[in-house]
């Protein structure tokens, strides 16, 4: 929040967030790790990077680094519009090419569980059109995974993540500048099939069957 970018400056998500651990105030959450889910400090931070990515995407700013998740995450809505981060290997970067200063401002409502990223700067007459995600090579969802949660009583089950099909997804962006010149680019994502995940008590027999 309240980040100023000078003309030509790069927005570097991981650098702005800084170290992600309990000492810097991050709580444990689920992350995609090794083809499964695991609990790490700062799990869920990709909801913030995804929101920032979409703000830059629809503003027509050059996206210089963006990574898709390994599988579709249901609460992001349409596929192909997510941005995974995991320092230091995965980052989100975009450039302020507006010719003037750019303010990145965050607005959040914890009660409504809503986050918005606003970008304020020189408009420059550009027009941005983001197409609908196009899917190919769609594969059915796999089998669900089960993770032990020591806080759950025996026999309890809690859904963590919804299943999703595998697919190759492309999203095309068209940017028309004030001189009428058009630039088109395509953002591509490859998602593997995902059977979803459930948290269960540590004595659940399904943990031993995986």
CA torsion 86-73-127-117 (nearest 10°) is: -60
pLDDT of residue 30: 83
Determine the pLDDT at residue 32: 79
pLDDT of res. 75? 86
Output the CA–CA distances (angstroms, integers) from residue 139 to 167, 186, 190, in the order listed. Answer: 6, 22, 11
**Cα(25)–Cα(42) distance, integer angstroms:** 9
Please report the pLDDT score of residue 105 as a whole number. 97
3-state secondary structure of 78: coil
pLDDT of residue 192: 95
CA distances from 13 to 64, 93, 146 (A): 12, 6, 32
pLDDT number for residue 185: 97
User: CA 118 → CA 2, 137, 139, distances in Å?
Assistant: 10, 35, 36
pLDDT of residue 130: 98
206: its two tokens? 């399904």
What are the 10-residue block averages of pLDDT along the chain, 210 residues in total? 96 96 92 78 94 98 97 92 95 97 96 95 93 97 90 91 95 95 97 94 87
């Amino acid at each position: 929040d309240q980040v100023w970018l000078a003309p030509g400056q790069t927005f570097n998500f991981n650098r702005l967030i800084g170290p992600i651990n309990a000492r810097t105030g991050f709580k444990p959450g689920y992350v995609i790790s090794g083809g499964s889910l695991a609990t790490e400090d700062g799990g869920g931070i990709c909801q913030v990077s995804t929101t920032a990515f979409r703000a830059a995407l629809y503003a027509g700013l050059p996206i210089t680094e963006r990574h898709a998740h390994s599988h579709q995450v249901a609460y992001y809505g349409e596929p192909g519009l997510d941005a995974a981060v995991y320092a230091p290997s995965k980052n989100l970067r975009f450039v302020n090419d507006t010719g003037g200063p750019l303010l990145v401002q965050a607005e959040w409502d914890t009660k409504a569980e809503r986050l918005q990223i606003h970008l304020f700067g020189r408009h420059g007459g550009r027009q941005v059109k983001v197409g609908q995600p196009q899917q190919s090579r769609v594969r059915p969802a796999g089998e669900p995974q089960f993770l032990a949660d020591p806080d759950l009583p025996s026999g309890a089950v809690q859904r963590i993540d919804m299943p999703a099909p595998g697919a190759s997804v492309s999203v095309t962006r068209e940017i028309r500048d004030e001189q009428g010149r058009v630039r088109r680019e395509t953002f591509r994502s490859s998602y593997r099939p995902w059977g979803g995940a459930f948290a269960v008590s540590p004595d659940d027999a399904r943990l031993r069957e995986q």
